[in-house]
Structure 1
Amino acid sequence: MSQMLALVILTLILFIGDLVAVRTKAWVPSIFVCAVLFLLGYWTFFPQDIVALAGVPPVVAVMVMYLLITNMGTLLSLKELKNQWKTIVIAISGILGIIAILMTIGTLLFGFETMIVAIPPLVGGVVSSLIMSEAANAAGLTTLSVFAIVIYVIQGFAGYPITSIVLKKEGKRLLKLYRNGQLERKESYQGAKEEVAATVEAGAVRWKMPEKYNTDFYKFFKLALVSYLAYLASTALAPVVNVSPFILCLLFGVIASSIGFLEKQVLQKANGFGFALLALMLFIFDGLNKATPSMMLEILYPLIGTIIIGIIGMYIFSFIAGKILKMSKDMAFAVSLTALYGFPADYIITNEVINSLTEDEKEREVLTSHMLPPMLVGGFITVTIVSVILAGTFVSFL
């Protein structure tokens, strides 16, 4: 298969995902459709390295992850993170629910070692799944090594449609309140916008390049520089504490935006966001080449059982936390569900749902102010931070 044919096939799949999402008004998320098509492709005629063949090898995917996560940091001001403390508590509560129910009921049904391997990938991303897979393989648990990868690959199949459903319910509730004059755009959202604008203006003398030199490449340079500083900080901290450079990319993105060094959504302004997102999406779906039919059949029962039981525990704990913190049960559950996929799925699904609910720009802005910040923060907390900490802790039990 030629490089350009591979690229045509993969971009067609992403387009079909978007097409189905638009036609079904986000009831069937594009990511779910794409995942199914990739799986079918790998089981039939796809080369196992089709993503790398198309021009997105792992090294390119890692590069765009650095840029995208740092760019996402520019969306969240320090004020916004402080305002989202309830979201952080609820996201962690959902993870505690998964741990509690899987370490009790799950252990009785599937065994202690299976649950130890399953939990970090279930509440995280590729990093935690690889950590647990390698640890299981080193312990001689070959089947569980495969299980760690497959549960990461499959978990979104449950998370995408459930998230779409609960976000639609939440969006309809918010729209009804707004149309009745009982809801306005969140002040924290507008405040975050104004705060970023103010800090950029305040830092203009210090950082601003004359407009004729403020090219796309200059924006890329600043974004890459901040990402590199996050990498250096992670390397410097390694002897003391193992901190993922991606966690620091998010933090450094927030700081760089707050002091005016990076513009808000700098990757979009550099005209690179679409391509970066394309590369990252292909990298995520590339993980499906591990899930062969024989592997799926072998671990089907513990796979489905673990996900169902884990989601039940997540719902119970997020419902309780939401009640205590006065957040609607649908929004609290949606925030917890970000653990099953993280960024960029949380961003994509939320926007798909908002766009499907209304065509009025002001209504979309109100929905975005109430729904997108907690979904982004929830995804960062669960997938980027907590899951890696869990994986580093759980490997000692194998």
Structure 2
Amino acid sequence: MNPVTAFTIIMLIWTISDFVAKKTKSVISSLLVAAIIFIVGFKSNIFPEDLLTSSSLLTLGQTVIGLIIVHIGTMISIDELKKQWKTVLTGVAAILGIATFLFAIGSFFLDQNFVIAAIGAISGTTIAVIIIQEAALASGLVLVAVFAVLISAFQGLIGYPLTSLILRKEANRLKGEYRAGTLKVEKPVEHKEKEPKTILPKAFQTTAGTLFVVGAVVVLSTYIDNITNGILNTFVIALLFGILLRALGVLKPHVLSGIDAYGLMMIGILLIIFGPLATSSVDDLLALIGPLCIAFAIGVPGSVAFSAIVGKILGYSIPMSIAIGLTPLYGFPGTMILSQEAAKSVGENKEEIAAIEASILPKMIIAGFSTVTILSVVVTSILAEFIH
């Protein structure tokens, strides 16, 4: 296909996907809409099989994935993680619950490769799926790669309504405490970032300079991966470098935000996960419906059970603990949207709404980053080594 035509078609697909996501407040994710369009397009032969490769966006995504992971690392504040250590531990329990239930129970119904793919995809988002895909495709397991895509596409449909119901219950509990005067009102979360600062010279704060610095970090991460024979995964090292360099003031928070090429880079990254859809048959996709249902039916209860137990031990209510445990199903900005909606739906005046939101929102934001951003990448990188 003509490269410009392929590029234009993909931009249209993404425009439609983003429009639907915004209209439904992300209950229907852009990833799900795009997946449906690509599946229908490829299987009906409306889209040629080389649509993604012809656009050159697939190559772009594969090139810049490391840069995006460093960027994700710079989104994480070590101080905030320390402050919300109970939330982090509850999130850790959620990931362990997903893995434990799927290995202990899911193995009776699913092949080991599908179990690993399910753990990675349910506990994380795009990056975790890409890690699974790389391992699966390297072993010629196209169906396993597609399976991870489908989980990632549909998990928001489960996570959003469940979390919405549970957070409303928590909000009602907090409203009772607020009216009784027993709710400790935390300082509201500031959504506006302070002016980002970096110790880098001005020359390295331009688009090209920033991309050079972040690219150098990825090159170093790849080198460490190579000299350790893959024991230290490139993606994990890049993520840790992002966190560390932000803490040291070398890279500013959200380092790639505002970079001219950032939006296009993100689309390139997201397109990677749709690659296997072009070569899979309709029968293959239908055969994955059963495993998909099994993965959610086992993995989600595992997350709920472990997070509820650990959260309760740490002093959180059961609803708050479960809500934290469900954040791997959608991550940010869903964590923020659902927290705000719960507070507004229950609070009856500005003061109540602010108090409820200030109690829920910090936990949900940190939960999303600690589970989806950090833990899922580390856990998936380890488990992906066992796909064969």
Q: Same fold (TM over 0.5)?
A: yes
Distance change >3 Å, CA 42–CA 220, structure 1 → 2: same
Cα distance in 2 for residues equivalent to 1:173 and 1:352: 16
TM-score by length of 2: 0.78
Match of 1:75 in 2: 75
Cα distance in 2 for residues equivalent to 1:303 and 1:167: 20
Match of 1:305 in 2: 294
Paired residue secondary structure (2:22): helix
Q: Give the unaligned 5+ runs of structure 1.
A: 138-144
Q: What does residue range 29-108 of structure 1 map to in structure 2 within 5 Å?
A: 29-44=29-44, 45-58=46-59, 60-108=60-108
Match of 1:22 in 2: 22
Q: What does residue range 1-398 of structure 1 map to in structure 2 within 5 Å?
A: 1-44=1-44, 45-58=46-59, 60-108=60-108, 110=109, 114-124=110-120, 125-132=129-136, 134=138, 145-169=141-165, 200=197, 204=199, 207-209=200-202, 214-236=205-227, 238-239=228-229, 242-327=231-316, 329=318, 332-333=321-322, 335-337=324-326, 339=328, 346-350=331-335, 353=338, 369-392=362-385, 394-395=386-387
Paired residue secondary structure (1:242): coil
Distance change >3 Å, CA 64–CA 130, structure 1 → 2: closer
Distance change >3 Å, CA 232–CA 370, structure 1 → 2: same
Task: Note if contact 2:118-2:151 (Cα within 8 Å) is conserved in structure 1.
Answer: yes
Distance change >3 Å, CA 323–CA 382, structure 1 → 2: same
TM-score by length of 1: 0.77
Distance change >3 Å, CA 317–CA 217, structure 1 → 2: same
Alignment deviations for residues 76-115 of structure 1 (CA, whole Å, 9 cap, x no partner): 132233334434433342333334333444344x2xxx44
Task: Note if contact 1:122-1:152 (Cα within 8 Å) is conserved in structure 2.
Answer: yes
- How far does residue 384 in structure 1 lie from its aligned partner after superposition? 0.9
Moved more, 288-297 or 245-254: 288-297
Cα distance in 2 for residues equivalent to 1:386 and 1:53: 33
Q: Give the unaligned 5+ runs of structure 2.
A: 121-128, 345-349
Alignment deviations for residues 277-312 of structure 1 (CA, whole Å, 9 cap, x no partner): 121122223333244211123344334223322222
Task: Note if contact 2:311-2:317 (Cα within 8 Å) is conserved in structure 1.
Answer: yes
Cα distance in 2 for residues equivalent to 1:338 and 1:171: 12
Paired residue secondary structure (1:346): coil
- How far does residue 186 in structure 1 lie from its aligned partner after superposition? 5.4
- How far does residue 256 in structure 1 lie from its aligned partner after superposition? 1.4
Match of 1:141 in 2: none
Moved more, 368-377 or 379-388: 368-377
Match of 2:347 in 1: none
Distance change >3 Å, CA 316–CA 368, structure 1 → 2: closer
Distance change >3 Å, CA 25–CA 76, structure 1 → 2: closer
Cα distance in 2 for residues equivalent to 1:5 and 1:226: 34
Distance change >3 Å, CA 285–CA 257, structure 1 → 2: same
Cα distance in 2 for residues equivalent to 1:290 and 1:85: 44
Cα distance in 2 for residues equivalent to 1:32 and 1:356: 22
Alignment deviations for residues 183-227 of structure 1 (CA, whole Å, 9 cap, x no partner): 76658x669977x96xx4xx74xx3337xx742222222222222
- How far does residue 14 in structure 1 lie from its aligned partner after superposition? 1.6
Paired residue secondary structure (1:75): coil
Task: Note if contact 1:335-1:379 (Cα within 8 Å) is conserved in structure 2.
Answer: no
Task: Note if contact 1:159-1:337 (Cα within 8 Å) is conserved in structure 2.
Answer: no
Please state which structure has a larger fraction of its residues in helix.
1
- How far does residue 62 in structure 1 lie from its aligned partner after superposition? 2.5
Task: Note if contact 2:147-2:288 (Cα within 8 Å) is conserved in structure 1.
Answer: no
Q: Let me know the Cα RMSD of the aligned residues.
A: 3.7
Cα distance in 2 for residues equivalent to 1:331 and 1:291: 40
